[in-house]
Structure 1
Amino acid sequence: MSSEAAALADLRATVKWLVGSAGATAVVLVGGLQLTRLPNPARTAGIVAAVAAAVAIGLALTLLTAAARVLAVPRMTATDLSDREINAGALDPDAPARINDDVVRWVRGHGVHLLAGERTITELCSLRATAQKTARDLRHRQDNRRVDQGEPENMARVNQELADIDAALTRLEDAVHYQRCDLRFRRMVSLFPWAGALFVAAVVTFALASAP
């Protein structure tokens, strides 16, 4: 497992824990409402208690939704990334123009680590296509018993090259998926300070307003 895949697994485990916690909190709040004798809704205390309960439950459900959105980030394939690179007009790595696709720009910014020596995503995908064609041609020659001396070694070399390229593409996909999930996770976490304070205030307000 690559370091990117391991980081992604850790992130998803954290988010799943948050989903479980938010869901449990919402269940406890709803259950508590059923067991609590609320003040007369026509009175101010009743209105305050109802609003506070709604705010607390709403915040718990908001956290649940935000965490679920992190888990729902779709995984982009190398072909998807290549298409985005082409659509962004970013096939020339020497072009001075700013890349207008955030994902492609991020990949190119980490190209030394993610592109296996190539300069663009499309070049890496093309390298795989070329290696696949070479492997097919060699297998075709073997099937037709037209194997020259040295071709078994060539086949082994091409298969190893394909394995290396596939590993690089998988690492690229893992890294992009992690980056996109992490971006949503950071946005969610940035809401915690004020959302947590508001949640505590809502629970305390509800407790005080519903006290006999």
Structure 2
Amino acid sequence: MSSHQTEYDRKRIEIRTKLSARLNERMARVAVARQATDVKRLDAEGTLLAKASSEAQKAAVDEYIAALNDAMRARRSAADAAVASYRAALDAEIQAREGLVKSALDIFLTDGDFAISQAKADCASGTAKPLDIRINYIAHMNSARSKMVNSIKSIESRKDALLLLINARKADIAEAVTSFTSATETARINLRNTLGM
């Protein structure tokens, strides 16, 4: 029965490795997208500064660029904090689930070992009929299996906790985007008023 434990550990490590690879890939895509956005933003800032003809206009453009950069940094840091918080909570939830599954599997293996040792002891004693030994063994194994199945079913109900984590992350990111949009719109209005557009 220890081969089942080894198989479980191997699969768990494989799943963890795949999850880590997906998260790293996603972070790399975010970094590339942010770099591309930064390049476009710098080009737009250069174009805007080139269009400013007077010192007052250049000061207004510099103020606009500073406000835009501050809003962008705030949005990125809020999004990064939301993602980091989500990942930490997700990791804790995964570890809790793995612990519960391992516990259920350990109990099943212990009960299975007990059923085997009980059957061997009954056979060695020679007092019980082979059919009775078989019936007792099957009853012990069915009991162990049903305990494990019930434990795993209770673990599966933890998916609601994951939905709460996902919704909290989405709400935090949406709030960061809303704040960013509001700050950039305010900066844009101030720039237009200063430039008289």
TM-score, L = length of structure 2:
0.53
Structure 1 residues 128, 150: closer, same or farther in 2, change over 3 A? same
The more displaced of 193-202 and 128-137 is: 128-137
The equivalent of 1:153 in structure 2 is: 142
Partners of 1:191 and 1:150 in 2: CA distance: 62
CA RMSD of aligned residues (A): 4.4
Letter in 2 for 1:137: T
> AA paired with 2:152?
A
Q: 1:143 to 1:71 in 2, by over 3 A?
A: same
Partner of 1:46: 58
Task: State the AA in 1 paired with 2:162.
Answer: D
* 1:56 and 1:203 in contact (8 A); partners too: no
Matched, 1:174 2:162: yes
Q: Which amino acid aligns with 1:51?
A: E
| Kept in 2: contact 1:22–1:60 (CA 8 A) | no
1:89 is aligned to none
Segments of 5+ residues of structure 2 without an aligned counterpart are: 1-28, 120-135
Equivalent residue for 1:144, pick from 117, 127, 139: 117
Whole-angstrom CA distance in 1 between matches of 2:31 and 2:148: 43
**Post-superposition offset of 1:164:** 0.6
CA contact (8 A) 2:108 2:145 kept: no
Cα gap change, 1:79 to 1:193, in 2 (>3 Å):
closer
Q: 1:75 is matched by which residue type in structure 2?
A: A
Amino acid at match of 1:27: V
Secondary structure, in 3 states, of the residue corresponding to 1:178? helix
Q: How many residues align structurally?
A: 149
Counterparts of 1:94-109 in structure 2, within 5 Å, are none
Q: CA deviation at 1:138?
A: 1.0
Q: Which amino acid aligns with 1:72?
A: A
Query: What is the DSSP-based 3-state SS (H/G/I as helix, E as strand, rest coil) of the residue aligned with 1:75?
Result: helix
Cα distance in 1 for partners of 2:43, 2:167 equals 38
TM-score (norm 1): 0.50
Structure showing the higher helix proportion among its residues: 2
Alignment of 1:61-210 (within 5 A): 61-73=73-85, 74-76=88-90, 77-78=92-93, 131=104, 134-142=107-115, 144=117, 146=119, 148-169=137-158, 171-191=159-179, 194-201=182-189, 204=192, 208=195
Instruction: Indicate conservation of the 8 Å contact 2:108/2:144, yes or no.
Output: yes
Q: Is the 8 A contact 2:52 2:58 kept in 1?
A: yes
C-alpha spacing 1:188/1:69, structure 2 compared with 1 (3 Å): same
Moved more, 177-186 or 49-58: 177-186
One-letter amino acid of the structure 2 residue matched with residue 144 of structure 1: S
- 1:27: which partner in 2? 39
Runs of at least 5 residues in structure 1 that lack an aligned partner in the other structure: 1-16, 82-126
Instruction: State the percentage of identical aligned residues.
Output: 9
**CA drift at 1:190:** 4.6
